[in-house]
């Protein structure tokens, strides 16, 4: 294993091929973008609560600027924060370590994947500098608006390429190329490079979930890329694929988009569930309840995820018989997730629960995601969705799914694997304070929106002053509370930055296995050297043997010990 030779500065810190360092690059980039995306949200929420406020660095928002912030908030949070943190960052860190491998199957491809991602981030930033500003057509990029906004049909194609809308499409396409390379790496590594003796069912749930998410991503992204290529050609080559006046079909884009867009939700959700499925048994000192069935159910949901997409299009004029089909599949997909939820809760039953920071975030995920999951059933019913479509009810619903998934589960993972990544423990007091302030801010921001949404508040209006029914006192108060909540949520993240910097420099030293955990990454040193393991570990059992009566002397049984 000494084949991993000394690295120069550039090959260690810039063009690194070490999966752990690439994971850190992805995570840090993702966190920076998450913060930017959050500030965008604070800016446009301020406009909603107090129309005409002069916002620092941005000024007074007009309709166009408001749309630009909303569009890019969603884009950034999904593609430059959610996926890099939960899929690329987490996957790169845990997959080789948990499988007992020395690195990914294709280390150079892995490095390439990060730098392609970096290029996509540069393209995203460039899109704001284009004449007319960034894209402002909504994150779903629906044509005909997005095929025409900022485009001059008579101009040279380079002129039309140098517009916010075109650059954003290009940035997203490049980002997907990066995630595709990463995904190939994940699947090949997981199938071909497991430790000796590790059967597929001995693979920890989080690795399973990341791979299922990767499958969902890889097999759904093709149609979206084809749709995006056609949209880009409409903008730069004047092709008219989505222009009804020339025989094109704008609904076609919606199908291509949501065929990807819905599995994408599970791309973010499945790794989050995997994280929680690792953390809850560790801090309850009990085996993961029905772990085999959790994996079967997650696999089932990953497949059902491909046949629910048109529930985003109930009001787009699709055939009611089709709407009925998609209503049914949408409600069916909640069954496997309900199963997984109950199984994770059953894991805690009669366990010796120790509420350390990672466990706190995992519990936060369980509680808050439930709200999002249950309200999803309302949106999935075609009849009810006609009414709540495009209202703040939908906004509240998906923030209750995505914020628990990306932030609560993501931060659970950060606190859980931080000792392994840096060799030092994170500060518990700061971590708990951060959790509670984040939870308060998040619920203050998202929960009231259910009510204003049910009242009929529409999501794509930047100033309600001229809509009298939307200016009742209570609904104005809701806007104020939600905006203050969003501000608290953003401000709380300062605590996280302080905690990361303090802990990484002067935190308590972590041993190899601070949480007394079974999986193979805890066999390596903290932080693991380039090449991970001193001797390649072998695997003798599943990952959740906590409090096994056959094991005397300790309540855990690492996978590599006989």
Partner 1 sequence: MVSLKENKKTTNQSTVITNGALGMILFVATEIMFFSGLISAFVVNASDNIGAWPPKWQPRLPVEATAVNTLILFASAITLFFAIRKTKSKTDGNFKTSSNLLKITMLLGGTFVALQGFEWVQLIGAGLTSSSSLFGAFFYTIIGMHGIHALAGVIYLFVISLKIIKSFDSNIKMKMMQTLSIYWFFVVLLWPVLYLLVYVLPSKG
Residue 542 phi, psi (nearest 5): -70, 170
- The answer to whether the beta carbons of residues 182 and 87 sit under 8 Å apart is yes
Of the candidate residues 77, 88, 97, 195, the single one contacting partner 1 (CB under 8 A): 195
**Which residue number, 64 or 119, has a Cβ lying nearer to partner 1?**
119
- Shortest distance, position 104 Cβ to partner 1, whole Å: 7
Length of the chain measured in residues: 562
- Shortest distance, position 115 Cβ to partner 1, whole Å: 11
- Shortest distance, position 153 Cβ to partner 1, whole Å: 9
Is residue 224 involved in binding partner 1 (CB under 8 A)? yes
Of the candidate residues 35, 128, 219, 451, the single one contacting partner 1 (CB under 8 A): 219
- Shortest distance, position 144 Cβ to partner 1, whole Å: 14
Is residue 312 involved in binding partner 1 (CB under 8 A)? no
**Which residue number, 135 or 232, has a Cβ lying nearer to partner 1?**
232
112: which residues sit within 8 A by CB, 6+ positions away? 181
Of the candidate residues 191, 367, 472, 501, the single one contacting partner 1 (CB under 8 A): 191
# chain residues binding partner 1, by CB under 8 A: 52
What span, in angstroms and rounded, lies between the C-alpha atoms of 421 and 320?
A: 51
Q: Please name every residue paired with 391 in a beta bridge, in sequence order, or none if there are none.
A: 458
**Which residue number, 229 or 331, has a Cβ lying nearer to partner 1?**
229
Where do the H-state alpha helices sit in 51-203? 63-75, 90-99, 107-129, 145-148, 157-161, 164-192
- Three-class DSSP category at 55: strand
Q: How many CB atoms lie within 10 A of CB 106?
A: 17
Is residue 108 involved in binding partner 1 (CB under 8 A)? yes
Closest residue by Cα to residue 303 from 354, 261, 251, 266: 266
What span, in angstroms and rounded, lies between the C-alpha atoms of 333 and 328?
A: 9
Is residue 460 involved in binding partner 1 (CB under 8 A)? no
Closest residue by Cα to residue 524 from 189, 98, 105: 98
Is residue 536 involved in binding partner 1 (CB under 8 A)? yes
Of the candidate residues 30, 91, 165, 227, the single one contacting partner 1 (CB under 8 A): 227
**Which residue number, 144 or 423, has a Cβ lying nearer to partner 1?**
144
Is residue 88 involved in binding partner 1 (CB under 8 A)? no
- The answer to whether the beta carbons of residues 401 and 376 sit under 8 Å apart is yes
Of the candidate residues 23, 38, 103, 313, the single one contacting partner 1 (CB under 8 A): 103
Q: How many CB atoms lie within 10 A of CB 214?
A: 26
- Beta-sheet pairing, 54-55 with 59-60: antiparallel
Of the candidate residues 156, 196, 352, 436, the single one contacting partner 1 (CB under 8 A): 196
Is residue 159 involved in binding partner 1 (CB under 8 A)? no
Residue 103 phi, psi (nearest 5): -170, -170
170-189 as b/e: b if 16+ CB within 10 A? bbbbbbbbbbbbbbbbbbeb
Of the candidate residues 77, 81, 85, 112, the single one contacting partner 1 (CB under 8 A): 112
Of the candidate residues 39, 109, 318, 454, the single one contacting partner 1 (CB under 8 A): 109
Is residue 237 involved in binding partner 1 (CB under 8 A)? yes
**Which residue number, 225 or 484, has a Cβ lying nearer to partner 1?**
225
- Shortest distance, position 380 Cβ to partner 1, whole Å: 24
133-141, 225-233, 310-318, 510-518 -> range binding partner 1 (CB under 8 A): 225-233
- Shortest distance, position 183 Cβ to partner 1, whole Å: 8
What span, in angstroms and rounded, lies between the C-alpha atoms of 104 and 205?
A: 19
- Shortest distance, position 241 Cβ to partner 1, whole Å: 6
Closest residue by Cα to residue 229 from 220, 217, 218, 241: 241
Residue 470 phi, psi (nearest 5): -90, 10
- Three-class DSSP category at 365: helix
Is residue 185 involved in binding partner 1 (CB under 8 A)? yes
Burial class of residue 51, CB neighbours in 10 A (0-12, 13-18, 19+): middle
Is residue 106 involved in binding partner 1 (CB under 8 A)? yes
Of the candidate residues 122, 246, 320, 349, the single one contacting partner 1 (CB under 8 A): 246
- Shortest distance, position 100 Cβ to partner 1, whole Å: 7
Per-residue contact string for residues 489-528; x = within reach of partner 1 by CB under 8 A: ----------------------------------------
- Shortest distance, position 3 Cβ to partner 1, whole Å: 6
Q: What is the enclosing helix (H) or strand (E) of 60?
A: strand 59-60
Closest residue by Cα to residue 414 from 82, 90, 29, 186: 90
Of the candidate residues 23, 218, 268, 396, the single one contacting partner 1 (CB under 8 A): 218
CA triplet 373, 377, 383: central angle to 5 degrees?
155
Name the site residues for partner 1 (rule: CB under 8 A). Answer: 1, 3, 100-109, 112, 180, 183-185, 187-188, 191-196, 198, 218-227, 229-230, 233, 237-241, 246-249, 252, 256, 259, 536
């Amino acid at each position: 294993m000494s084949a991993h030779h000394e690295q120069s500065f550039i090959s260690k810190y810039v063009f690194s091929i070490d999966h752990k360092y690439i994971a850190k690059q992805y995570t840090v980039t993702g966190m920076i973008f998450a913060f930017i995306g959050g500030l965008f949200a604070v800016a446009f929420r301020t406009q909603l609560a107090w129309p005409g406020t002069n916002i620092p660095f941005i000024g007074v928002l007009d309709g166009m600027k408001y749309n630009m912030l909303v569009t890019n908030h969603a884009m950034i949070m999904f593609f430059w924060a959610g996926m890099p943190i939960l899929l690329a960052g987490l996957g790169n860190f845990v997959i080789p370590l948990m499988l007992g491998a020395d690195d990914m199957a294709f280390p150079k491809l892995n490095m390439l994947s990060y730098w392609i991602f970096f290029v996509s981030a540069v393209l995203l930033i460039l899109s704001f500098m284009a004449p007319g500003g960034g894209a402002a057509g909504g994150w779903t990029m629906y044509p005909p608006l997005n095929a025409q906004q900022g485009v001059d049909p008579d101009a040279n194609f380079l002129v039309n390429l140098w517009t916010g809308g075109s650059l954003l499409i290009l940035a997203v396409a490049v980002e997907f190329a990066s995630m595709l390379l990463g995904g190939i790496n994940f699947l090949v590594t997981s199938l071909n490079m497991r430790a000796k003796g590790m059967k597929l069912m001995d693979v920890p749930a989080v690795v399973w979930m990341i791979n299922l998410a990767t499958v969902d991503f890889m097999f759904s992204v093709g149609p979206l890329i084809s749709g995006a290529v056609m949209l880009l050609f409409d903008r730069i080559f004047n092709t008219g694929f989505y222009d009804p006046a020339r025989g094109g079909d704008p609904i076609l884009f919606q199908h291509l988009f949501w065929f990807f867009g819905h599995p994408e939700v599970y791309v973010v959700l499945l790794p989050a569930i995997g994280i929680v499925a690792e953390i809850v048994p560790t801090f309850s000192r009990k085996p993961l309840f029905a772990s085999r069935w959790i994996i079967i159910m997650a696999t089932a949901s990953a497949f059902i995820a491909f046949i629910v997409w048109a529930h985003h299009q109930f009001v787009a004029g699709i055939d009611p018989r089709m709407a009925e089909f998609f209503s049914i599949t949408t409600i069916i997909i909640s069954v496997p997730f309900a199963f997984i939820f109950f199984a994770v809760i059953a894991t805690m039953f009669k366990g010796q629960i120790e509420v350390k920071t990672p466990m706190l975030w995992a519990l936060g995920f369980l509680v808050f995601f439930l709200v999002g999951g249950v309200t999803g059933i309302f949106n999935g019913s075609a009849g009810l969705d006609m009414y709540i479509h495009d209202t703040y009810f939908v906004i509240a619903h998906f923030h209750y799914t995505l914020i628990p998934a990306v932030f609560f589960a993501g931060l659970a993972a950060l606190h859980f694997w931080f000792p392994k990544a840096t060799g030092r423990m994170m500060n518990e007091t700061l971590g708990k304070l951060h959790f509670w302030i984040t939870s308060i801010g998040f619920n203050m921001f998202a929960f009231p929106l259910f009510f204003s949404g049910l009242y009929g508040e529409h999501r794509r209006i930047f100033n309600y002053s001229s809509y009298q029914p939307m200016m009742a006192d209570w609904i104005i108060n809701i806007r104020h509370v939600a905006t203050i909540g969003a501000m608290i949520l953003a401000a709380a993240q300062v605590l996280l930055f302080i905690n990361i910097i303090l802990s990484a420099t002067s935190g308590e030293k972590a041993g190899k296995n601070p949480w007394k955990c079974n999986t193979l990454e805890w066999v390596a040193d903290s932080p693991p050297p380039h090449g991970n393991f001193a001797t390649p570990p072998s695997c003798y059992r599943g990952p959740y043997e906590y409090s096994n009566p056959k094991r005397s002397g300790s309540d855990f049984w690492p996978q590599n010990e006989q």
